[in-house]
Amino acid sequence: MNILKQRTFVAKPEKSKKWYCVDASNQTLGRLSTEIANTLRGKNKPSFTPHLDCGDFVVVTHAKKIRLTGKKWTDKIYYHHSGHVSGLKSQSARDVLNKHPERLIFESVKGMLPPGKLSRSVIKKLKVYAEDKHPHEAQKLIPLTLRKQ
């Protein structure tokens, strides 16, 4: 009895990862974050596997010039806890941009990744800088093409 067996393709994690560069000036925060999250996870590749890290590195520059729509500059609140009793602190998006402009993009992308151990390792491949200077010139960055808004 000669039965043909169908085999399931199982992707292996890639050894060489690409480095992409994104200029965040005049980009909407949510739309930019979805593109970055998809690139970090590797959803733009044909060999995407949900349980493997098959994404690439992303370097974001000009985080100070990000754009938010509507009244989100004042209405969107970011919370963090100091660890002490009654240590819940809150800041508006405008205050976060003035003090730590990288945090807006980082928190937005982190919220778009699925929870778990894999996303904690994937988020480490995101590098966000407030200005255009960064220490990743040696990686030969490829500009990430974004979809039209």
Residue 134: is its pLDDT beyond 70? Answer: yes
> How many alpha carbons fall within 13 Å on the CB side of residue 32?
27
Mean pLDDT of 19-41: 96
Rounded to 5 degrees, φ, ψ at 111 are -70, -20
- Positions of E strands within 7-120: 19-23, 57-61, 77-81, 88-92
Angle formed at CA 129 by CA 127 and CA 131, multiple of 5 degrees:
155
Which CATH number is associated with domain 19-69+99-143?
3.90.1180.10
Q: Is the pLDDT of residue 1 over 90?
A: no
Average pLDDT over residues 91-120: 95
The closest of 61, 57, 63, 64 to 140, measured between CA atoms, is 57
Q: What is the pLDDT of residue 112?
A: 96
